[in-house]
Amino acid sequence: MAEFLPLLLFLVICLVLMLGYPVALTLAGVSLLFAFVGELTGHFDMAFLQALPNRLYGTIDNSTLVAVPMFILMGVMLEKSRIAEELLTGMAQLLRRTYGGLAIAVVLIGSLLAASTGIIGATVVTMGLISLPVMLRAGYDTRLATGTICATGTLGQIIPPSIVLVLLGDILSTAYQQAQLSQGIFTPRTVSVGDLFLGAIGPSIALVLAYLAYLLVIARVKRHWAPLPSERMEDEVPIPPARLVLALVPPVALILIVLGSILTGVATPTEAASLGALGATLLALGRGQLGWRQLRDTVESVTRITAMVFLILIGAAVFSLVFRGFGGEELVHELFHNLPGGVITATLIVMLVIFLLGFILDFIEISFVVVPIVAPVLLAMGLDPVWLGVMIAINLQTSFLTPPFGFALFYLRGVAPPEIATTDLYRGVIPFIIIQLLLLLVLAFWPQLATWLPAHLLSY
């Protein structure tokens, strides 16, 4: 029974989280409780917790993680200063003579905002408040409108520069080195956040194109689902061309510069994130859209989200030490290697577990708690780290979109008009879920979609 204590620890943490207790405090509190009980029963050595100060100092000293608050600041600044709203409105005007043009604008602009913000809740709520009323007023079917917004809000999981990819890149880098050392490779290769960004480009482009293709087809087949805005919104005043250019070009250029500086090696993710945060702030100031209230709201939001991320990281550090002290790593390694089907079965089980955990945990908790447990074992079994990171990101994205527990559905339900039925939300996201599952299948059989670019351009 003692050898299964790590799994019991994991299950108890999941149960406590389902009761609604704070994630960071649950991770640390339950882990310490198990450690004390284990010490009393002779199954745990408190010496493992002596490594905690070094773990926390390593977190503080990790320059890659500085990119997290900077990317959050960039996205929140674009949202609070209403630059995001103008961007969406401008793109919708460019596509106003295309059936489904408004939905296409939501996907294109939402993709950029999702990538820069990286927080599903923020993106879905923002897009819901900005675009849902416009789509409904234009006569869009509620299922198509809500499904498009929910699916677009989850794109931040996979489109670089994504906070999810930043966190996964840092975690997979450590896991990849552990896996190589366990195989007797004492000059291990490295994998970076930039590698993961490059690996995500192909799948993310394929996913966005698949979304757009679906919207174009549905707009042609069922035109009453996605009518031309001009047919229902004659009172709308067009944006003047000069203002339209000002609304579209600078923010899109900023996001492309940030991503391009990382992919070309001109800047590290941390430096590029700082550039993005500064650029978003200057854009807001230049347009006169950054008053004291907006600045205060932005700083408060960024501080709250950043504090949440790093407090969870501290809780996850406590959990990982206790899990290791109970022999959790050896248990997972043994379980995976004894599975029939080897690495294929192990990967399928991990993906299923992550998918199910996505119903109750956010990507931050899963990244800090689950991935460090399973990634070293899977990588030691021969999986590619970039491929694994991209698969996990898309898998999480699908989980957050899947009824009845998907986070994106809850967030949009909170800001959607009461006359929109919850079943409409569920039915609206089903085509997008199918698209994402197909992408996972394509990536499983054709891993080069994720691995070719980083293998040829960067350190990996």
pLDDT tens column, 373-407:
888 888 888 888 899 999 998 988 888 888 876 77
- Parent domain of 111: 2-457
Q: What is the pLDDT of residues 51-82, one digit of tens each?
A: 888 878 877 777 767 777 887 788 778 777 77
- Around Cβ 16, how many Cβ atoms within 10 Å? 17
pLDDT for the residue numbered 460: 47
* Entry pTM: 0.78
Q: What is the pLDDT of residue 302?
A: 82
Domain count for the chain: 1
The angle formed by the CA atoms of residues 218, 148 and 220, to the nearest 5 degrees, is: 15
Q: What percent of the chain has pLDDT over 70?
A: 90
